[in-house]
Amino acid sequence: MDKKIFNTLYEKALKARENAYAPYSNFKVGAALLTEDNEIFVGCNVENASYGLSICAERNAIFSANAAGKRKYKGLVVVADTEGPVSPCGACRQVIYEFGDYEVVLTNLQGDIKETTSKELLPYGFNGDDLNEKK
Ligand SMILES: O=c1ccn([C@H]2C[C@H](O)[C@@H](CO)O2)c(=O)[nH]1
Ligand SMILES: [Zn+2]
């Protein structure tokens, strides 16, 4: 990912992380998503007393972009206070995968970086094509 674009997304993700509502895990996560038409949507994790209802930062950002009608992305940056770059959960990998192939940069507060892609994060991923296979 271009350095300038990364820096912008990283700053936005850090800011979104500050808005995380994580009173149960105390694990705050932020995400920033760049659309193909250069808009940025952010997300943070939002937990719930009924733990299973919690939403991750990555899905929050992608759903927010969807709510604005944006479904084509160029890049996603995710940040958390982890020892190495944060690793998205399986549910988020599936949602990230839904919207094509784009750059994903996983980071932490120290600025450690893992550069990957939406496809690479979910090898042999399930996609909508499989739904029509038996027709
Ligand atoms: O990549 C990740 C991993 C975890 N979480 C959230 C879910 C939950 O609120 C908390 C602990 O799992 O962190 C994210 O938002 N993104
Ligand atoms: Zn997740």
Please give the share of the chain, as a percent, with pLDDT higher than 70. 98
By the 8 A CB rule, do 57 and 88 touch? no
What is the ipTM, given to two decimal places? 0.99
- Which residue minimizes the CA distance to atom 5 of ligand 1? 56
Distance 134 CA to ligand 2 centre (A): 30
Nearest to 59 by CA among 26, 96, 23, 12: 96
What pLDDT is stored for residue 128 in this prediction? 85
Domain spanning 3-126: which superfamily? Cytidine Deaminase, domain 2 (3.40.140.10)
Q: How many CB atoms lie within 10 A of CB 32?
A: 27
pLDDT of 134 > 90? The answer is no
Ligand nearest to the CA of 88: 1
What pLDDT is stored for residue 86 in this prediction? 98
pLDDT of 29 > 90? The answer is yes
By the 8 A CB rule, do 130 and 102 touch? no
Nearest atom, ligand 1, residue 57 CA: 15
- Which residue minimizes the CA distance to atom 13 of ligand 1? 27
What pLDDT is stored for residue 133 in this prediction? 62
Averaged pLDDT for residues 23-52: 98
Averaged pLDDT for residues 21-36: 98
Ligand nearest to the CA of 93: 2
Question: Which residues belong to the active site?
Answer: 58
Render pLDDT for 79-118 as a digit per residue (tens, 0 to 9).
999 999 999 999 999 999 999 999 999 999 999 999 999 9
44 is an annotated ligand-binding site residue: no
pLDDT of 132 > 90? The answer is no
> Domain coordinates of the chain in residue numbers?
3-126
Render pLDDT for 5-19 as a digit per residue (tens, 0 to 9).
999 999 999 999 999
Residue with the two structure tokens 């192939």: 101
Q: How confident is the model at residue 135 (pLDDT cuts 50, 70, 90)?
A: low
